[in-house]
Amino acid sequence: TQLLEQSPQFLSIQEGENLTVYCNSSSVFSSLQWYRQEPGEGPVLLVTVVTGGEVKKLKRLTFQFGDARKDSSLHITAAQPGDTGLYLCAAHRGKLIFGQGTTLQVKP
Amino acid sequence: NAGVTQTPKFRVLKTGQSMTLLCAQDMNHEYMYWYRQDPGMGLRLIHYSVGEGTTAKGEVPDGYNVSRLKKQNFLLGLESAAPSQTSVYFCASSYPRGTQETQYFGPGTRLLVL
């Protein structure tokens, strides 16, 4: 059983569409991170959210930490082909635990 | 400043062969990690180290050994490779910052065990 459940596991959309990726858990976390992994490379940290209800924006990406600090979402506005990749949420439980990832494909 | 580097990038092994994966970081990080990544399973921690000369087991340590003789290097060994160890292996490093720790990853090593 995954401590962090991501949905959907795979998403294929057209350039310009909006999308939301979810990261859910039954556990409470003091912080949650989102990483992006491009094909053939290692994950790179996008953001860390630490406060319940917190919203952070990174250009067209909006990250939200749930009020109860059990879940998080990543919303991308007007997706571009450069957004293609694997999106991973992660949280600390002694060590960093990762969700299984959401593979995003943005077609031109 | 190369960050985290891994060698080799790709390797094919036969069942029963041994090999060592090398990870090097030039950021003076205390912590280093080895993960494996398999389809649909995210990243799973194999072993980690919180400082030179210390190592500890992660979530999936069986079949692997590690050593951290120098602060900048973390080696992952497979003593007798099995097909179940076919995976992409990532090394990461970080400063100890509790729950806001940022891990910096290498580009990965693709291993195929026949």
- pLDDT, tens digit, for every residue of B26-84? 999 999 999 999 988 889 999 999 999 999 999 999 999 999 999 999 999 999 999 99
Range from A63-67, B98-102, B105-109 carrying the lowest mean pLDDT: B98-102
The two three-digit tokens of residue A59, written as one number: 């250009």
- Taking CB atoms within 8 Å and a gap of at least 24, the contacts of B39-42 are B40/A9, B40/A100, B40/A101, B41/A100, B42/A2, B42/A4, B42/A88, B42/A98, B42/A99, B42/A100, B42/A101
| Interface contact B99-A92, CB threshold 8 A | yes
Cα atoms in the 13 Å half-sphere on the side-chain side of A75: 9
Residue ranges in chain A modelled with pLDDT below 50: none
Nearest Cα neighbor of B109 from B52, B61, B29, B46 is B46
DSSP state, residue A39:
T
pLDDT given for residue A3 in this prediction:
87
Are B99 and A31 an interchain contact pair (Cβ–Cβ within 8 Å)? yes
Residue A1 is predicted with a pLDDT of 62
Per-residue burial over B71-84, b = 16 or more CB atoms within 10 Å of its CB, e = otherwise: beebbbebeebeee
β-strands B73-78, B64-67 pairing: antiparallel
In A, which residues are within 8 Å of B102 by CB distance?
A: 33, 45, 48
Give the pLDDT score at A94: 78
Which chain A residues contact residue B100 at CB under 8 A? 31, 48, 50
Contacts of A30 in chain B (CB under 8 A): 99
In the predicted structure, residue B25 carries a pLDDT above the cut 80: yes
Residue B13: which pLDDT band, with cuts at 50, 70 and 90?
very high
Q: Residues of A at the B interface (Cβ-Cβ below 8 Å)?
A: 2, 4, 9, 29-31, 33, 40-45, 48, 50, 88, 91-92, 95-96, 98-101
Q: Which residue has the tokens 């879940």?
A: A71
Mean pLDDT of all residues in B12-23: 97
Q: Taking Cα atoms as reference points, which of A6, A80, A26, A27 lies closest to residue B99?
A: A27
Indicate if the alpha-carbon torsion angle A39, B8, B16, B42 is positive or negative: negative
Q: How far apart are CA B95 and CA B102, in angstroms?
A: 7
Residues contacting A100, CB < 8 A, separation 6+: A2, A4, A5, A6, A9, B40, B41, B42
Q: Do B43 and A30 touch (CB under 8 A)?
A: no
